[in-house]
């Protein structure tokens, strides 16, 4: 679905994802929920995740509906946002140009050599939550 045909909330979610590099994918493995950190890029109205293959999370996600969330909580910005979307995850081999957009991979994860694996998710439902904090000038002004 082209971006123009996406509902406005999904367009906002995809645009915000482009501002941060990491998020968390949520799914279940052996009937238990898990969260896994993932590096992401936006490509062709989809989100491509790079995960560490050693944990097996990609196997639990492939072919399943997953949730993916990213945010700017640690940015220090007064305008905090969090994006969450759901979609079916598919194992993929990204184009070389897309792989290059991921930048350098970690050397290790939990003491094991990092092995990249990729999932493609086309958002099917998205939400954007926003929190606005007063600016420092507003907060310091007497009432």
Q: Nearest to residue 50, comparing CAs of 105, 95, 96, 97?
A: 105
**% of residues, the chain, pLDDT over 90:** 61
Cα 38 to the chain's mean position, in Å?
7
H or E stretch covering 122? none
Above 60 in pLDDT, residue 110? yes
pLDDT tens readout for residues 111-123: 999 999 999 998 8
Torsion angle, alpha carbons of 126, 66, 32, 49, to 10: -110
Between 138 and 79, name the one with better pLDDT: 79
Return the H-helix or E-strand segment holding 9.
Answer: helix 8-17
CB–CB of 37/22 below 8 Å? yes
| pTM given for the model | 0.84
What's the pLDDT at 115? 95
> How far is Cα 24 from Cα 79, in angstroms, rounded to an integer?
20
């Amino acid at each position: 679905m082209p971006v123009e045909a996406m509902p406005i909330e999904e367009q906002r979610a995809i645009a915000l994802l482009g501002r941060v590099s990491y998020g968390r994918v949520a799914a279940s493995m052996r009937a238990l929920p898990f969260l896994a950190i993932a590096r992401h890029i936006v490509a062709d109205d989809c989100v491509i995740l790079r995960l560490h293959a050693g944990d097996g999370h990609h196997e639990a996600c492939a072919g399943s509906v997953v949730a993916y969330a990213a945010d700017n909580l640690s940015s220090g910005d007064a305008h905090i946002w969090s994006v969450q979307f759901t979609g079916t995850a598919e194992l993929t081999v990204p184009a070389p140009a897309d792989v290059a957009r991921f930048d350098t991979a970690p050397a290790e994860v939990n003491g094991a050599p990092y092995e990249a694996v990729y999932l493609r998710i086309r958002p099917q439902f998205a939400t954007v939550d926003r929190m606005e904090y007063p600016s420092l000038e507003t907060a310091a002004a007497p009432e």
